[in-house]
Structure 1
Amino acid sequence: MPAKKPTRTLRMRRLAAELRRLRESAGLSREDVTAATRINGSTLYRVESAQARPQLRTLHTLCDLYGVDEAEREELLALTKDSGKQGWLETYPSELPTEYTNYILFESEARTIRNYESLFVPGLLQTEDYARAVIRGTVPLATDEQVEDRVRARLQRQELLHGTEPLRLRAIVDEAVLRRVVGGPCVMREQLLHLGTMAKLPHVEVQVIRFESGAHPGMPGSFVLIDFPEPADPAVVYIDSMAGDLFLEGDVEVDRYSLILEQLIGVALSPDESRQLIGTVAAGMTAED
């Protein structure tokens, strides 16, 4: 069985960015580093793109080559040692796909999540029964145990919205999210009532794009913009698709999705109007399965 790829964390991203900066400040290409140190070029690329953590020996060699002083060397060593920390996810990392694990870790360290969804209630706002119905419907080959692992992870993620410094969430959803009856009318009604309740929290905004709005920039698919509290940690775009999960980290891509999100906010109902619509749709759901 092939070794599982290391889970990316913010610390790993920060370490990779700092090592790239040090190499470029020294005026060296990756080929130059390989020639001077015999560190494999593909290994260096993986370290600088946050796909692998450097061995301590490799890190010391790079620090020597780049002329890093003792204080900065200690910071890099600390980042390396802490780069694999995963918090609560360590309870069951092997049961979750690697890219989903990466997303959860980024989400757990975020300041703000801006989420557009065209078909589902955002995961952070799902009820347990709705989440279970979604997972069973979208991952039909999953075992009961795998389904419950994912439900448990989703519910645990929602703790980010509670506490003294909760995550700020802005969710834009297409009206189809409200109208598609997932898990039956009873489950869907409970979900809509929960969505309306969560939308009243001061750190949660929910906006709905009506069918009458016609075509809009979100129709190609859902995405998440993740913003972090530290300036050293640039925003990330996360896209979950049938072809696989994708993280976009370049300035051009992040700016493009930020612009799309602003356009969607402009098309959507206001938060107050959205809560009213959610309540109306919930009231129209029958209480019988």
Structure 2
Amino acid sequence: MELQQLRERSGLSREQVADATEINRATLYRIETAQAKPQIRTLRALLETYGVPEKHRNDLIAILRSAQEESWLQVASEDLPDQYATYIGFEQEAKGIRNYESSFVPGLLQTEAYARAAIPGGAPELPATEVESRVTVRMARQAKRDPSPAIEAIIDEAALRRHVGSLVIMREQLQRLLDESEQAHVTLQVIPFEAGAHPGMHGSFVILQFADDVRDVVYIEASTTDLFLNSENDVRRYNLMFEHLRSVALSPEKTRDLIASVLVDVRVRGGAGDA
């Protein structure tokens, strides 16, 4: 992202950079969209072309070197698609996460049992090894960070009432949401059915917010391919959409009341022996 923004600030197109550095345009595109890591000599050539001051050059080279070190993500994501692994890498660097979900509980707030039921339920074609990898990575993503990123989650009421897995799984998941909603870094809101039609009905999305004036990234997961949007217009549009969804959603306090009510219903349906 930083390389893309440095190029844009210098007023150069990818074609012009390719001509000046002899770096293939397709390679430059893959670097800027986090599909490939540049070699250090490639990075130096780009930073020189963009006229980046020496201190900032050294900082970016240090980032590249640290990115080449093996991490839990590299070990756990061998069975994951490249775009999903890229998203997780972005998420680990984010200082703020704005997540709207229309059908599922947000991944960072899921219990392991819910994740194990939701992942193959939403993608029945996934092999068992990839399902297991996704569950493992999803749980690792929830590990506490210091400081924890600010999480703003908005969920459609349908995600609360759809039974993913057994009633026991849903009971545990709803209790988890109540517990998470009490955390200082988590703001949880639900859009009730009574709110009627709203922009989020078109699908879920995540806005990843970064420090140091790095532009937000919008992530949209689709059945065939994932999208990463980083233009000013796209980022502004999705942030405005998120603000609109927040305005039609219940307050955090009323959200807790609704979740508690749904939890009571689940317990009743589960019977006294399952309460």
Short-chain TM bin? 0.7 to 0.9
Classify 1:167/1:86 alpha carbon distance in 2 versus 1 (closer, same or farther; 3 Å): farther
Q: Deviations over 1:115-149 (max 9, x none)?
A: 11100000011111111000121121333332221
CA distance in 2 between counterparts of 1:29 and 1:178 reads 46
Residue type of the alignment partner of 1:237 = V
CA contact (8 A) 1:17 1:48 kept: no
Give, as a single letter, the amino acid of the residue that structure 1 aligns with 2:270: A
Q: How does 1:1-289 map to 2 (within 5 A)?
A: 13-19=1-7, 21-22=9-10, 24=11, 30-35=14-19, 37-48=21-32, 50-62=34-46, 71=55, 73-85=57-69, 87-159=71-143, 162-231=144-213, 233-285=214-266, 286-287=269-270
User: Taking structure 1 as reference, are residues 50 and 195 closer, same or farther at Cα in structure 2, changes over 3 Å only?
Assistant: closer
Paired residue total: 270
Residues 227, 234 of structure 1: 8 Å contact kept:
yes
Q: Larger deviation: 39-48 or 278-287?
A: 39-48
What RMSD, in angstroms, separates the aligned Cα atoms of the two structures?
A: 2.5
Alignment match, 1:3: none
**Equivalent residues of 1:16, 1:50 under 8 A apart:** no
TM-aligned CA deviation for residue 193 of structure 1: 1.0
Secondary structure of the corresponding residue to residue 188 of structure 2? strand
> By how many angstroms is 1:201 displaced?
1.0
Compared with structure 1, are the counterparts of its residues 54 and 263 closer, same or farther at alpha carbon in structure 2 (3 Å cutoff)?
A: same
Q: Distance in 1 between matches of 2:37 and 2:138?
A: 27
User: Judging changes above 3 Å, is the alpha-carbon distance between structure 1 residues 256 and 152 closer, same or farther for their aligned structure 2 residues?
Assistant: same
SS in 2 for 1:254: helix
The percentage of aligned residue pairs carrying the same residue is 48
SS of the residue corresponding to residue 242 of structure 1 reads coil
Structure 1 pair 149/48, CA: closer, same or farther in 2 (3 Å)?
Answer: closer
Distance 1:20 1:145, change over 3 A: same
- SS of equivalent to 1:243: coil
Using a 3 Å threshold, how does the CA distance of structure 1 residues 213 and 150 change in structure 2: closer, same or farther? same
Range 218-227 or range 35-44, more displaced: 35-44
4+ runs deviating over 6 angstroms: none
Matches of 1:254 and 1:21, distance apart in 2: 18
- How far is 1:61 from its partner? 4.4
Secondary structure of the 1:95 match is: coil
Q: Distance in 2 between matches of 1:34 and 1:262?
A: 39
User: What is the CA distance between 1:33 and its match in structure 2?
Assistant: 4.9
Bigger mean CA deviation after superposition, 59-68 or 267-276: 59-68
In structure 1, distance between residues paired with 2:145 and 2:246: 27
Deviation at 1:174, TM superposition (A): 0.7
Give the conservation status (yes or no) of the 8 Å contact 2:209–2:217: yes
